[in-house]
Amino acid sequence: MQNPTNTSQHPASQTAIQSSTPSLEEKLTLRLESLRAHKSKTTALNDERSRAWISKNLSLIGIPTKLVDICVEILEYMGDTRLVWLHLQECTGCSESLLRTEEPGFDVLIFDIFKLHYHDLVLAASGHNAHEILHTIESTPYVLLVEGSVSMGEQEEYITLGGKSGYTEAAHLIDHAQAVFAVGTCSSYGGIQTAHPNPTNGHGLKEVFDANIVHIPGCPPSDKNIIGNLLYFYLLGETPPLDELGRPLFAYAKSVHDLCERRNFFLSGDFVQSFDDPAMAQGYCLYKVGCKGPYTFNNCPKVKFNAKTSWPVQAGHGCIGCSEPNFWDNFGLIEKPISNDSIAGFTPRFSQQSAMDAALDLRITQCAKAKDMAECGIDQGVFVNLDSSEICLVDTQTNKRYRINVGETRPAQILEALESKSKQTKRLCENYQANFPTLYNALKAMDTNQTPSEPCADFCALLGGYYALLKGETLQSTHATDSLIKEAQSFAYPHVSPLGFKWKERASEESESGGYNGVLELDSSKALSNLLAYYIGGLDVAGVSFSIVSDLGMAFGELLRKWNVQGQIILQGRLCASRAFVRSVVRALPRECAISIAY
Ligand code: FSX
Ligand code: SF4
Ligand code: F3S
């Protein structure tokens, strides 16, 4: 890929950029100064309609609308940059999505604001004339948008354009582009053509080309997200900050579930039971009829589609996870909740997930079990013994010991607390009772003063309590922990249903100190509501168990990251037998952190 020619800065300003992170306003101002010095305006956008459009789209990409004047002027200097839109293996839905953009409409978008140079669907020219347009582009600065996956190997010629393979055409255009955007899930991750058994040997662009490519997934993506990415690049001369799957954070940082208008019904356990259920119109949650919103990162509820008319969940169908890698294979049956029972009749393709897990596993080593911090023999790091419920921060200067307090672990009391917490949690418990009457009655019949049947670590007691909420069995806590870990291990999917455990740190009071510097309290109130909601919504015991261990691991990892632990991290205890738990801890920590475990 070429270096953008229009991002040059004054040498003095470059020094300033290196010494501190400039604000967006500073970046835009510097860029405008540079454009003024090096280019001439080639387009005029200072009319009311264009200004209103620009201003409206700025907030989506995180630029304050008060900066509209600078932005309008920058765009006026960018009139010589062309857009090239390449179609590979796809259904043209991405283009259709963009065509339905409103205010001011597609025509203004492609003639006035961005100059569309080549696009199979809307191009007036055809055949050799069209190709002529494509092949004379190199002398002009251009931004490349690719829709569709690329077929490779013996199947390379399954997609051809004017006699050349899609791969050859894409390689050439990627090479000369200022920026490359993979529009849609097909070009980002392969999409529908790469679903099992992938007959065209299709690939996402990044799997094939070693270039800086921004993913704008979605089948199709919203017009707003396509426009937002272009606007960001035109205005700032760089691509937006991305997540680990190459997606811009401004659009894909939150899950569909986080932004969904039916979310309160999820939290009260009110689910639509079928597509003709009258509760659909009341806004009940669609998880039970297959919504994959909790596992899908996209801003659809906010930006919507078709001139902002609607989005899937508003229209009455669950999210099918269309912006996630391999969603056709990875999410089970479309209209069923994710569970081991809904595995479609072939092995799901989790290649990306497996590669990510393998990378995490490389950071985990096994170590011998130590009795306590003294025996673990490290001089810097952290020693966590989950079985004895303590965390020790080891430092050559100050060693600190924290006691872990996981809160209420008895299932009957957990339910009781939830019933009296709020109207919403009361309703949740009513729905839990209605869905699992035998389970509910068994828990209610338990002796509420019953203490754990053995002097065990808090963590095991907690997992014992959760296991009882799912199965109604009150096993010995250690056995319940092992059973729950086994259930989690059996979950056929890599998707964690987000629960939301959090750790709170406080100094220990004199009366409870016992040599501890502080207490780490697990805040599980939100997690418990989510746990019951997912269970009522049809996630199986394996899925809930997988989420419990993964989410606990995530909360742990975040705590260690907040502490900025240097040195070795040693994790011990029964829970470490869970790969999902340990991986989640590691995932939350900086890449250089390695972990030793024993169980
Ligand atoms: Fe279709 Fe685009 Fe899906 Fe793919 O969208 S809507 S198959 S993401 O490449 O045309
Ligand atoms: Fe919305 Fe789906 Fe989440 Fe329910 S499960 S709140 S319908 S995103
Ligand atoms: Fe796709 Fe789900 Fe949005 S199906 S369009 S990511 S709501």
Contacts by residues 466-470 (CB-CB < 8 Å, ≥ 24 positions apart): 466/411, 466/531, 466/548, 467/545, 468/411, 468/443, 469/411, 469/414, 469/415, 469/439, 469/443, 469/531, 469/532, 469/535, 470/535, 470/541, 470/544, 470/545
- Which pLDDT belongs to residue 288? 98
Total residues found in the chain within this entry: 599
Domain at 81-252: CATH architecture: 3-Layer(aba) Sandwich (3.40)
- Say what the pTM is: 0.92
- Which pLDDT belongs to residue 486? 96
Q: 460 Cβ partners below 8 Å, 6+ apart?
A: 387, 477, 478, 480, 481, 574
- Which pLDDT belongs to residue 457? 61
Q: Taking CA 62 as the corner, what is the angle to CA 58 and CA 68, rounded to the nearest 5 degrees?
A: 35
Domains 81-252 and 254-336 share a fold: no
Q: How far apart are CA 63 and CA 57, in angstroms?
A: 9
Decide if 444 contacts 412 (C-beta within 8 A). yes
Q: 359 Cβ partners below 8 Å, 6+ apart?
A: none
Decide if 324 contacts 296 (C-beta within 8 A). yes
- Which pLDDT belongs to residue 552? 96
Give, for ligand 2, the residue of 313, 336, 338, 530 to mutate: max count of ligand atoms closer than 8 Å to Cβ: 313
Superfamily for the 254-336 domain: Cytochrome-c3 hydrogenase, C-terminal domain (4.10.480.10)
SS3 for 247? coil
Among 195, 246, 186, smallest CA distance to 221 is for: 186
- Which pLDDT belongs to residue 260? 98
Q: Which residues line ligand 2 (CB under 6 A)?
A: 256-257, 260, 262-263, 266, 285-287, 291, 293-294, 313, 318-319
Q: Which residues line ligand 3 (CB under 6 A)?
A: 218, 256, 296, 298, 300, 311-313, 319-320, 322-323
State the DSSP H helix or E strand holding residue 370, giving kind and residue range, or none if neither. none
- Which pLDDT belongs to residue 13? 38
- Atom 3 of ligand 3 has which residue's CA nearest to it? 300
Hey, what amino acid is at 136?
Answer: T
Task: From first to last of the 599 residues of the chain, give the pLDDT tens digit.
Answer: 554 433 333 333 334 444 578 999 999 999 999 999 999 999 999 999 889 889 999 999 999 999 999 999 999 999 999 999 999 999 999 999 999 998 778 888 888 889 999 999 999 888 888 888 888 898 899 999 999 999 999 999 999 998 999 999 999 999 999 999 999 999 999 999 999 899 999 999 999 999 999 999 999 999 999 999 999 999 999 999 999 899 999 999 999 999 999 999 999 999 999 999 999 999 999 999 999 999 999 999 999 999 999 999 999 999 999 999 999 988 989 999 999 988 766 667 777 788 889 999 999 999 988 877 778 778 888 888 888 878 877 776 678 888 888 988 888 889 999 999 999 999 999 999 999 999 999 888 876 555 544 445 688 889 989 999 999 876 677 888 899 999 999 999 999 999 999 999 888 777 777 778 888 899 999 999 999 999 999 999 999 999 999 999 999 999 999 988 888 899 998 999 999 999 999 999 998 888 999 98
Domain at 361-598: CATH architecture: 2-Layer Sandwich (3.30)
Closest approach atom of ligand 3 to CA 219: 1
- Which pLDDT belongs to residue 180? 98
CA dist list (Å): 100 to 107, 147, 223, 309, 501: 11, 16, 7, 10, 41
Among 89, 95, 157, smallest CA distance to 122 is for: 95
Closest approach atom of ligand 2 to CA 256: 8
Give me the residue spans of the domains in the chain. 81-252, 254-336, 361-598
Q: What is the per-residue pLDDT across 320-339, written as a single tens digit (0 to 9) for each?
A: 999 999 999 889 899 999 99
- Which pLDDT belongs to residue 344? 63
Q: How far apart are CA 533 and CA 544, in angstroms?
A: 10
Q: What is the per-residue pLDDT across 46-69, written as a single tens digit (0 to 9) for each?
A: 999 889 889 999 999 999 999 999
Q: Taking CA 496 as the corner, what is the angle to CA 242 and CA 241, rounded to the nearest 5 degrees?
A: 5
